[in-house]
Amino acid sequence: MSGGAADSSLRVAMVLPDLRRAGAESAVVNLSRTLVRCGVAVDLVVIGARQEYTDELAGSGVRLHCLDLYRQTIRFYRQDKHWQIRRQLERFFRYLAAPIVHMHLFHGLVWAAVAARKAGSLTCYTAHGLDPWLTQQDLISLWRRWLFKRAWRHSGAHLSAVSPSVIQHTAQGLSCDPHSITWLPNSLSAAGWHPPPATKPLGRTIIMVGTLYPLKRVSTGIQALALLPEALLWVVGDGPQRSALQQLAAAQGVMERVTFLGVRTDLPELLQSADLFWLLSEREGMPMVALEAMASGLPVVATAVPGTRDLLRHEENSLLVALDQPQQVAAATRRLWQEESVRQRLIAEGLATAALYESGRIARQHIAYYQGLREMESGCHGVCHKP
């Protein structure tokens, strides 16, 4: 393991609202496993019922606690349910007695932060995306922002974020100094990402990966596919937009060239079998799947949007296009098929980019962060961090 030596006394509890197959959850599972290999004791606390990474966590040394405190969405006005979860979490954290509790996603902080702090734990939180509720002015967003700020302030949770764009967005929404938010990027998992053999012929199979929400703009990919009659498109993932996307594919006359693969556990093999990767989202926090595609030797066409631009650079490790422009997506794709030198340059730069996010390297950054927080709180008697 390239993670290097760690403080063997370091123990961290990771907290997620649910353990579903999505970007932030995948990143937390990967980080947890890597920290264990670096000598850190890790408890993974799942507040809800879903635990879709059982196989990945088996034998990893990560201690999984699936609390099953809720099963379906709890509406914001059901404060009785929210308070019940907080009380149960406080009892659990007193039992767990974890020195550091690292929370992820909105409900991870809102439900767990004060409970963990009351139990005597040092608390920290990582922002994974450009959450609209941080800046929008509708009633629900204002309510969510108030809940988040209250939990953040009352717990004294230290803030981090996965990309510079997420740092700026979070600082704007919370009205805090962006320099007070630590950049802690996600890492590339050790899942067998590697380029296909050099003898593999250049094909026309394009792959998109993600939960099927409108913000992922799979619809733009289907529209671009209609302009590329020689191409095939694999869509990996599931979500509420699947039926609408299938109807769009039929309307565009490309249904026979689109394969909806659903949620898969063999993504490394799928990426290695594909020929090109599209990431056409409206926004991203840190697009891990683009990193995985680059590590698999795929050239990338992506939208030039916040979060994505932190990782992908036009004409260096990818080709960037404007949002909602299927003609630009099709043109960039044709260029990669026709200009071998450009394609090979992007592949080489993509592999170099992926190497920067090797799991051991990123785990060491997290270990240094935890040690720094522990020293800071010890030196200030636990009261030096005041948001």
Pick from 67-71, 318-322, 368-372: least confident: 67-71
Secondary structure class of 35 (helix, strand, coil): helix
In tens, the pLDDT along 309-368 reads 999 999 999 999 999 999 999 999 999 999 999 999 999 999 999 999 999 999 999 999
Query: How many CB atoms lie under 10 A from the CB of residue 377?
Result: 19
Residue extents of the structural domains in the chain: 11-187+359-379, 205-355
CA distance 190 to 241: 30
Tokens of 136: 């929008």
Give the H/E segment covering residue 22: none
User: What's the average model confidence in pLDDT over 296-301?
Assistant: 96
The CATH class, in words, for 11-187+359-379 is: alpha beta
CA distance 45 to 118: 17
Is the pLDDT score of 1 beyond 60? no
Is residue 33 within 8 Å of residue 57, measured between CB atoms? yes
Query: How many CB atoms lie under 10 A from the CB of residue 330?
Result: 19
Check if 11-187+359-379 and 205-355 are the same fold: yes
Of 134, 183, 126, the closest CA to residue 157 belongs to 126
Give the H/E segment covering residue 275: none
Given CA atoms 47, 52, 58, 61 in this order, what sign does their dihedral have? negative
Pick from 75-89, 129-143, 280-294: least confident: 75-89
Q: Which pTM value belongs to this model?
A: 0.87
Q: Which phi and psi angles does 43 have, rounded to 5°?
A: -105, 125
Q: Which phi and psi angles does 279 have, rounded to 5°?
A: -130, 105
User: What's the average model confidence in pLDDT over 258-273?
Assistant: 93
Given CA atoms 354, 319, 135, 172 in this order, what sign does their dihedral have? positive
User: What is the percentage of the chain residues whose pLDDT exceeds 90?
Assistant: 80
Complete DSSP assignment for 177-239: -GGGSEE----B-SS---PPPTTPPP--EEEEES---GGG-HHHHHHHHTT-TT-EEEEEB--
Predicted confidence at residue 386, as pLDDT, reads 37
CA distance 316 to 352: 11
Is residue 46 within 8 Å of residue 67, measured between CB atoms? yes
User: Domain 205-355, what fold?
Assistant: Rossmann fold (3.40.50)
Predicted confidence band at 276 (pLDDT cuts at 50, 70, 90)? very high
Pick from 125-129, 132-136, 157-161, 263-267: least confident: 263-267
Predicted confidence band at 192 (pLDDT cuts at 50, 70, 90)? confident
Rounded to 5 degrees, what angle do the CA atoms 146, 214, 109 make? 30
Predicted confidence band at 222 (pLDDT cuts at 50, 70, 90)? very high
Tokens of 29: 């599972």
Q: Where are the alpha helices (DSSP H) in 59-188?
A: 79-96, 106-118, 139-155, 164-174
Predicted confidence band at 7 (pLDDT cuts at 50, 70, 90)? low
Predicted confidence band at 384 (pLDDT cuts at 50, 70, 90)? very low
Is residue 217 within 8 Å of residue 191, measured between CB atoms? no
Residue with tokens 């799979």: 218
Side-chain-side CA neighbours of 369 within 13 Å: the count stands at 25
Is the pLDDT score of 130 beyond 90? yes
| C-alpha distances out from residue 219 to 63, 236, 253, 274, 284, Å | 39, 14, 13, 19, 17
